C-alpha cells in the first residue's frame, strides 16, 4: 500500500443542468444549479490536492462517465482515493435481476441516459484492493415516497427556505422513458454478470437524501451540496466521516422540504478510511 505521503487522489465532478429530450420522452430536465455544485466540489478537491476533472451537461454522457471511472480504476493503487461527485436529477428503473427489495434500480440521470446502481457496482469492482472511493450524490431517488402517509414530528419547527426545486424526474417523463427505451435498459440489465464480482475497494457514499425522499435545490445550488460545504468550512471541520455525516444531517434537520442525507459503506472494511477527516487523501 502506498504510504500516506505518496497517496494519490483523483476526482471527477459531474453536473447535469439539462438532458437530451429525445432520450427522455420529450423532457429536458432543465435545472440551473448542478454545474455550480460540480464547480464547488471541484474546488474542494483541488484544495485537498486531488487531480480533479469535470464532466458537465452535454459532456456527462453514459460513455464518458463510465470511461472516466474505469480510467481512475486503472491508475489508482492501494491506499489511493477516488472522489466522485454528482449533481443532477435522480431516477429509478424497474429492477430485472431481483437484487432490490423495492424492485427498483436507483439511477443517475446523465445527459443521454440513466446510469444504474448495478452498473456502478460493477465499475467499482475494477478498483484494486486497498483503494478508497468517496462518492457524493446530490440527487433525488424517486420511489415509494413512504413519508407521504406519515405524520411529521418536526412539522411545527420547520424553517422556510428557497430550496424548492426537486431533483427528480417527473413521473410521466420517467414512465415515457422506461416505455420508449425498454429494450435499451433491459439489454443493459441483462448484460451484467450474475453473480457480480465482489468489490475489493472500499466505497463510501454520502447521499443527499434517503431512497424514499427527494433532494432539493434552488437556482444556485443543491441544498445537500450547500450543507456539505458549510459543515466542511473550508477544511476547518475536525472529525471523521460519521461525525461529518451527522453534522450535515443536523444542518438539514429543520428544512421545510425534508431530506435526510445518507451514509453507507460497501466493499472491504477500512477502519483507517472511517477515521479520516473528510476529503483527505
Among the options 89, 114, 141, 245, which is catalytic? Answer: 89
**CATH code of residue 97:** 3.40.50.1460
Phi, psi of 184 (to 5 degrees): -60, -50
The pLDDT, as a whole number, for residue 99 is: 54
Can 89 be counted among the known catalytic residues? yes
Can 141 be counted among the known catalytic residues? no
H helix intervals, 11-160: 34-47, 62-75, 117-124
d(CA 31, CA 140): 13
Cβ atoms of 90 and 217 within 8 Å: the answer is no
Range of the domain at 55: 4-275
The pLDDT, as a whole number, for residue 162 is: 84
What is the tens place of the pLDDT at every residue in 146-204? 223 344 444 445 566 788 899 989 889 999 998 999 999 999 989 999 888 999 999 99
Q: Closest Cα partner for 215 from 270, 142, 160?
A: 142
Q: Is residue 106 part of a domain?
A: yes
The total number of structural domains in the chain stands at 1
Q: Closest Cα partner for 32 from 163, 127, 192, 173?
A: 163
Among the options 13, 140, 209, 245, which is catalytic? Answer: 140
The pLDDT, as a whole number, for residue 255 is: 84
User: Would you call the peptide bond into 195 cis, given omega within 30 degrees of 0 as the criterion?
Assistant: yes
d(CA 36, CA 189): 32
d(CA 154, CA 165): 21
The pLDDT, as a whole number, for residue 80 is: 98
Characterize 214-246 residue by residue with b for buried, 16 or more Cβ atoms within 10 angstroms of its Cβ, and e for exposed.
Answer: bbbbeeebbbbbbbbbebbeeeebeeebeebbe
Q: Is residue 280 part of a domain?
A: no
The pLDDT, as a whole number, for residue 150 is: 41
**3-state DSSP helix/strand/coil % of the chain, to nearest 5:** 35, 20, 45
Q: Is residue 281 part of a domain?
A: no
Residues of the chain with pLDDT under 50: 142-156
What is the 3 state secondary structure string of 178-242? HHHCHHHHHHHHHHCCCCCCCCCCEEEEEECCCCCCCCEECCCCEHHHHHHHHHHHHHCCCCCHH
Instruction: Please tell me the pTM assigned to this model.
Output: 0.91
The pLDDT, as a whole number, for residue 102 is: 52
Q: List strands edge to edge, sheet with 90-94.
A: 90-94, 104-110, 113-116
The pLDDT, as a whole number, for residue 103 is: 61
The pLDDT, as a whole number, for residue 151 is: 42
Amino acid at each position: 500500500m502506498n504510504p500516506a505521503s505518496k497517496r494519490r487522489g483523483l476526482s471527477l465532478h459531474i453536473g447535469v443542468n439539462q438532458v437530451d429530450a429525445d432520450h427522455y420522452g420529450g423532457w429536458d430536465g432543465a435545472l440551473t444549479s448542478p454545474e455550480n455544485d460540480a464547480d464547488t466540489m471541484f474546488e474542494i478537491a483541488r484544495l485537498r490536492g486531488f487531480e480533479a476533472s469535470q464532466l458537465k451537461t452535454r459532456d456527462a454522457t453514459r460513455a464518458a462517465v463510465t470511461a472516466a471511472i474505469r480510467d481512475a480504476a486503472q491508475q489508482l493503487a492501494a491506499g489511493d482515493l477516488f472522489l466522485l461527485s454528482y449533481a443532477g436529477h435522480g431516477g429509478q428503473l424497474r429492477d430485472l435481476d431481483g437484487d432490490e427489495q423495492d424492485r427498483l434500480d436507483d439511477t443517475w440521470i446523465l445527459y443521454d441516459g440513466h446510469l444504474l446502481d448495478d452498473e456502478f457496482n460493477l465499475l467499482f469492482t475494477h478498483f484494486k484492493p486497498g483503494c478508497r472511493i468517496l462518492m457524493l450524490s446530490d440527487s433525488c431517488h424517486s420511489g415509494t415516497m413512504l413519508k407521504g402517509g406519515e405524520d411529521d414530528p418536526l412539522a411545527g419547527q420547520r424553517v422556510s427556505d428557497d430550496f424548492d426545486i426537486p431533483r427528480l424526474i417527473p413521473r410521466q417523463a420517467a414512465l415515457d422513458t422506461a416505455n420508449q427505451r425498454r429494450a435499451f435498459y433491459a439489454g443493459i440489465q441483462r448484460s451484467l454478470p450474475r453473480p457480480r464480482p465482489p468489490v475489493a475497494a472500499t466505497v463510501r457514499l454520502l447521499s443527499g437524501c434517503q431512497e424514499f425522499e427527494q433532494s432539493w435545490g434552488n437556482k444556485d445550488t443543491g441544498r445537500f451540496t450547500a450543507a456539505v460545504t458549510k459543515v466542511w468550512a473550508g477544511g476547518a471541520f475536525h472529525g471523521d466521516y460519521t461525525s461529518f455525516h451527522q453534522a450535515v444531517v443536523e444542518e438539514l434537520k429543520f428544512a421545510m422540504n425534508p431530506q435526510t442525507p445518507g451514509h453507507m459503506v460497501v466493499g472491504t472494511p477500512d477502519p483507517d478510511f472511517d477515521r479520516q477527516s473528510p476529503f483527505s487523501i
